[in-house]
Structure 1
């Protein structure tokens, strides 16, 4: 992945490209839109996502997902109408091989909206859900590949709606299982492809303390509202395998307080902390 900082700052406008991928992403804060929209990429068809802080604090962000045959005109028009409910930034995706056209950008828009609704991590500003357009089997194959690369880039640019909070229950039993160090809770976790997954049937504390970070408290609230954490009188039962971005997020959200994850999870059979387990793995 190649990031080019257009103004020399990590928070400012930037482009993102993946080697051998025909797509291109351009990210910009809204205040830089006038300068950025003159770029050649915005002459082309593409999809775009506008982002702001959520209006409901159970979400991580608020997004609007759109498409256009000419990105520049659509984005100028859209941004000019944002005075009542403004967005802070946007990202636009286009390509250099002319894979994107009127039909295929609508396909990408449709798939991104489905992804956002299924993941339930972001507030969706779209009032209308477009229908799936008819495209050829070859176009569908190309667009699914294009979408896969978009899902790699979006989180790196700060867009979280493509990242799931919960995942289907794993069929295979994980090799290394960790138990949360707690006298009150029976809570288990395993690691898969860099994600920290608390298992279905685990328990979470019903109380939360002032020490817990705001972002982790927001995740707790979201999981409760979505029925992933279900009230069982003395604790919450976790009804789905649930993904966390870090080992400390997994322990802090389930305990309801700030918790150092590397020493809060104990290997079920080796009886060592997650931190010690990782050290041994690195030596091996």
Structure 2
């Protein structure tokens, strides 16, 4: 018998409380976690406040687009003995005008204490800072580590479960940045390295579950074509955040860290500084095979098996 050492399957139950996918949702991880996540659009805040869960000690997140960077979200993470009262305050606060969704995490067995909530708040803030996917609206980042050893272990488990649920509910603010996959995983085969050489720059990348990852040290053209519009704002955002930096050559930029992109064309456009088809521009390193042909060969291999 073969025993798998990889991640185990999980069952997550998402309930549409009012029967619509854009209304109030609840999410639970079956048979492994006593927590419960509740999500609501700001337009349904009154309905959320009428639910009994929000009168308990909870950790919560306000999320919406960053008005200063449309390519990123902005979040505020907090905790309260009564989230209901706190959300009423935030709704009237002009500084919190950015949020359009609310996430509340409670304990189904009502055993979440003030100390537990402060610990969860601290850990979620730290994860958000490390992920660098969203602008954090919190003025402070409390470091709370005063729980007993057993409680700390329980809350770290809760952090793991919350991190698992967040992307399913449409929140990516705490999702870790993509990492380079193992070069030889039996279940997926060797990892292909892709390269793009054009206009005097060279970039290398790999595919990951979180996106197309351009590797640190890759270069990109500094001055784009006059007709370039698509993904230009993304390039400017990377420059502002220091992920893409100038070099001694005024015509060249360099990736200061690994950066994940949602699509091959987005990655290619930032490197090329112009409109370009990523499926044709990226090629398997050392072979010259375009990504399009590489992917089709992978699909044919599986389809013909």
With structure 2 as the length reference, what TM-score do the two structures score? 0.80
Is contact 2:220–2:272 with CA below 8 Å preserved after alignment?
yes
How far apart are the structure 2 equivalents of 1:248 and 1:149? 33
SS at match of 1:11: coil
Q: How many residues align?
A: 280
How far apart are the structure 2 equivalents of 1:106 and 1:218? 37
* Pairing 1:238–2:268 present: no
Query: Gapped runs of 5+ residues in structure 2?
Result: 1-11, 185-189
* Pairing 1:207–2:207 present: no
Change (3 A) 1:260 1:30: same
- Select 2:43's aligned residue among 31, 40, 43: 31
Q: Which residue of 1 aligns with 2:273?
A: 256
Q: Which residue of 1 aligns with 2:284?
A: 267
Change (3 A) 1:33 1:273: same
How far apart are the structure 2 equivalents of 1:47 and 1:184? 50
Q: Which residue of 1 aligns with 2:4?
A: none
Q: Which residue of 2 aligns with 1:280?
A: 297
Is contact 2:194–2:284 with CA below 8 Å preserved after alignment?
yes
Give, in angstroms, the shift of residue 72 of structure 1. Answer: 2.1
Give, in angstroms, the shift of residue 200 of structure 1. Answer: 1.1
* Pairing 1:45–2:20 present: no
How far apart are the structure 2 equivalents of 1:258 and 1:148? 40
Looking at secondary structure, tell me which structure has more strand per residue: 2
- Select 2:243's aligned residue among 218, 223, 228: 228
> Once the two structures are superposed, what CA deviation does each residue of 1:120-151 show, in whole Å capped at 9, x if it has no partner?
33222212222323112222222222222222
> Once the two structures are superposed, what CA deviation does each residue of 1:161-212 show, in whole Å capped at 9, x if it has no partner?
2134575x88969731001252422001012334321111101121345544
Change (3 A) 1:11 1:248: farther
How far apart are the structure 2 equivalents of 1:217 and 1:154? 29
Is contact 1:200–1:238 with CA below 8 Å preserved after alignment?
yes
Is contact 1:25–1:93 with CA below 8 Å preserved after alignment?
yes
Computed over aligned residues only, the root mean square deviation of the Cα atoms, in angstroms, reads: 2.7
How far apart are the structure 2 equivalents of 1:84 and 1:56? 13
How far apart are the structure 1 equivalents of 2:85 and 2:22? 25
- Select 2:143's aligned residue among 114, 123, 131: 131
How far apart are the structure 2 equivalents of 1:203 and 1:178? 14
Change (3 A) 1:151 1:211: farther
Is contact 1:106–1:132 with CA below 8 Å preserved after alignment?
yes
Q: Which residue of 2 aligns with 1:70?
A: 82
Is contact 1:177–1:190 with CA below 8 Å preserved after alignment?
yes
Q: Which residue of 2 aligns with 1:140?
A: 152
How far apart are the structure 2 equivalents of 1:27 and 1:102? 21
Is contact 1:64–1:124 with CA below 8 Å preserved after alignment?
yes
Query: Larger C-alpha radius of gyration, 1 or 2?
Result: 2
Is contact 1:166–1:240 with CA below 8 Å preserved after alignment?
no
Change (3 A) 1:229 1:58: farther
Is contact 2:214–2:259 with CA below 8 Å preserved after alignment?
yes
Give, in angstroms, the shift of residue 57 of structure 1. Answer: 1.8
Q: Which residue of 2 aligns with 1:3?
A: 14
How far apart are the structure 2 equivalents of 1:148 and 1:250? 30
* Pairing 1:104–2:119 present: no
Is contact 2:219–2:254 with CA below 8 Å preserved after alignment?
yes
